[in-house]
Amino acid sequence: MEHIDLAALQELQEVMEDEYNQLVETFIRDSEQRIAAMDKALLEHNAEQMRELAHSLKGSCLNMFITPLAQQAREIENLAREQQLEPISSLIAGLQQEFKIVSRLLKETLTD
Protein backbone atom coordinates (compact mmCIF):
# COMPACT_ATOMS: atom_id res chain seq x y z
CA MET A 1 0.00 0.00 0.00
CA GLU A 2 1.17 3.52 -0.77
CA HIS A 3 2.37 5.49 2.23
CA ILE A 4 -0.01 8.27 1.23
CA ASP A 5 -2.97 8.30 -1.18
CA LEU A 6 -1.47 11.17 -3.16
CA ALA A 7 -4.43 11.54 -5.49
CA ALA A 8 -6.80 12.08 -2.59
CA LEU A 9 -4.30 14.39 -0.92
CA GLN A 10 -4.17 16.36 -4.15
CA GLU A 11 -7.91 16.95 -3.91
CA LEU A 12 -7.59 18.03 -0.28
CA GLN A 13 -4.83 20.42 -1.31
CA GLU A 14 -7.16 22.00 -3.84
CA VAL A 15 -9.87 22.37 -1.21
CA MET A 16 -7.52 23.83 1.42
CA GLU A 17 -5.96 26.29 -1.04
CA ASP A 18 -3.67 28.69 0.85
CA GLU A 19 -4.14 26.84 4.12
CA TYR A 20 -2.67 23.62 2.77
CA ASN A 21 0.92 24.41 3.79
CA GLN A 22 -0.18 25.28 7.28
CA LEU A 23 -2.20 22.06 7.49
CA VAL A 24 0.77 19.91 6.55
CA GLU A 25 3.13 21.76 8.88
CA THR A 26 0.63 21.43 11.73
CA PHE A 27 0.20 17.72 11.00
CA ILE A 28 3.93 17.06 11.07
CA ARG A 29 4.43 19.10 14.24
CA ASP A 30 1.45 17.53 16.09
CA SER A 31 2.42 14.03 15.02
CA GLU A 32 6.05 14.51 16.16
CA GLN A 33 4.74 15.66 19.52
CA ARG A 34 2.33 12.74 19.78
CA ILE A 35 4.95 10.15 18.90
CA ALA A 36 7.35 11.64 21.45
CA ALA A 37 4.57 11.57 24.04
CA MET A 38 3.86 7.92 23.18
CA ASP A 39 7.50 7.10 24.00
CA LYS A 40 7.04 8.82 27.31
CA ALA A 41 3.75 7.01 28.03
CA LEU A 42 5.46 3.72 27.33
CA LEU A 43 8.19 4.50 29.86
CA GLU A 44 5.61 5.51 32.39
CA HIS A 45 3.41 2.46 31.62
CA ASN A 46 0.47 4.83 31.06
CA ALA A 47 -1.82 2.74 28.88
CA GLU A 48 -4.70 5.29 28.93
CA GLN A 49 -2.41 8.07 27.75
CA MET A 50 -1.06 5.72 25.06
CA ARG A 51 -4.54 4.94 23.85
CA GLU A 52 -5.61 8.59 23.56
CA LEU A 53 -2.43 9.57 21.70
CA ALA A 54 -2.70 6.64 19.29
CA HIS A 55 -6.36 7.45 18.72
CA SER A 56 -5.68 11.09 17.89
CA LEU A 57 -2.79 10.17 15.60
CA LYS A 58 -4.97 7.63 13.81
CA GLY A 59 -7.76 10.20 13.32
CA SER A 60 -5.57 12.89 11.81
CA CYS A 61 -3.73 10.37 9.62
CA LEU A 62 -7.03 9.12 8.22
CA ASN A 63 -8.09 12.64 7.34
CA MET A 64 -4.80 13.18 5.48
CA PHE A 65 -5.21 9.87 3.58
CA ILE A 66 -2.10 8.44 5.29
CA THR A 67 -3.51 4.96 5.69
CA PRO A 68 -0.56 2.69 6.68
CA LEU A 69 0.48 5.02 9.50
CA ALA A 70 -3.17 5.19 10.64
CA GLN A 71 -3.29 1.40 10.74
CA GLN A 72 -0.15 1.21 12.85
CA ALA A 73 -1.65 3.76 15.22
CA ARG A 74 -4.85 1.71 15.40
CA GLU A 75 -2.90 -1.43 16.38
CA ILE A 76 -1.23 0.48 19.18
CA GLU A 77 -4.57 1.96 20.26
CA ASN A 78 -6.16 -1.50 20.43
CA LEU A 79 -3.30 -2.95 22.44
CA ALA A 80 -3.32 0.02 24.80
CA ARG A 81 -7.02 -0.42 25.34
CA GLU A 82 -6.30 -3.99 26.45
CA GLN A 83 -3.45 -2.77 28.71
CA GLN A 84 -0.88 -4.66 26.67
CA LEU A 85 2.07 -2.29 26.64
CA GLU A 86 4.77 -4.98 26.04
CA PRO A 87 4.18 -5.49 22.29
CA ILE A 88 3.80 -1.73 21.76
CA SER A 89 7.50 -0.87 22.17
CA SER A 90 8.44 -2.73 18.98
CA LEU A 91 5.43 -1.23 17.14
CA ILE A 92 6.50 2.31 18.06
CA ALA A 93 9.82 1.79 16.32
CA GLY A 94 7.99 0.86 13.13
CA LEU A 95 5.66 3.81 13.59
CA GLN A 96 8.59 6.20 13.84
CA GLN A 97 10.12 4.67 10.72
CA GLU A 98 6.86 5.10 8.77
CA PHE A 99 6.38 8.65 10.03
CA LYS A 100 9.80 9.68 8.68
CA ILE A 101 8.81 8.49 5.22
CA VAL A 102 5.40 10.19 5.41
CA SER A 103 6.96 13.48 6.59
CA ARG A 104 9.36 13.49 3.67
CA LEU A 105 6.57 12.74 1.18
CA LEU A 106 4.34 15.42 2.66
CA LYS A 107 7.06 18.07 2.56
CA GLU A 108 7.46 17.34 -1.15
CA THR A 109 3.84 18.37 -1.71
CA LEU A 110 4.35 21.79 -0.11
CA THR A 111 4.15 24.79 -2.44
CA ASP A 112 6.27 27.92 -2.17
Partner 1 sequence: MELAERSLKILVADDSETDRMILRTLVQKQGHRVVTAEDGQQAVELFLLERPQLVLLDVLMPVMSGYEAARQIKQLAGEELVPVIFLTSLKDAQSLAECLDAGGDDFLSKPYSPLILQAKINAFNRMRMMHHTLQVQRDKIAGHNKRLLQEQAFAKEIFDKVAHSGCLNAHNLQHLQSPYAMFNGDVLIAARKPSGGMLVFIGDFAGHGLPAAIGAMPLAEIFYHMVAKGFSMPEILSEVNSKMKQVLPVSGFCCGGMVDVDFDSKVMKVWIGGLPDCYLYRAKSKTLDVLSSKWLPLGILSPDKFDTGYEIIEVEYGDRLYLWSDGVIEAQDDQKHFFGEERLKAVFANNEDSDQLFNEIKEAVFSFIGEPTDDLSMIEISMVPRESFSDKPVPVEPSTIRGARNWSASFEFRPETLQSYNPIPLILHCLMQVPGVNLHSGRLYTILAELYSNALEHGVLGMDSSLKASLHGFTQYYAERERRLQQLDNGFIRFWLEHKIEQQGGVLIITVADSGPGFDYQKMLNRITQDTNYHGRGVNLLRSFCRRIDYSNVGNQVTIEYGWNNELDSARKEHH
Catalog residues that contact partner 1 under the rule CB under 8 A. Answer: 8, 12, 15-16, 19, 22-23, 26-27, 30, 52, 55-56, 58-60, 62-65, 70
* Type of residue at 2: E
- Using alpha carbons, list the distances in angstroms from residue 96 to 36, 41, 70, 99: 9, 15, 12, 5
Nearest to 32, CA basis, from 82, 107, 111: 107
| Among 16, 101, 22, residue whose Cα is nearest residue 66 | 101
For residue 31, the minimal CB distance to partner 1 (Å) is 9
Closest separation in Å from C-beta 51 to partner 1: 9
- In terms of CB distance, is 15 or 93 closer to partner 1? 15
Q: Which is nearer to partner 1, 16 or 89 (CB)?
A: 16
Neighbours of 111 (CB within 10 A): 8
Q: Would you say 65 or 68 has its CB closer to partner 1?
A: 65
Q: Shortest approach of partner 1 to residue 87 CB, angstroms?
A: 21
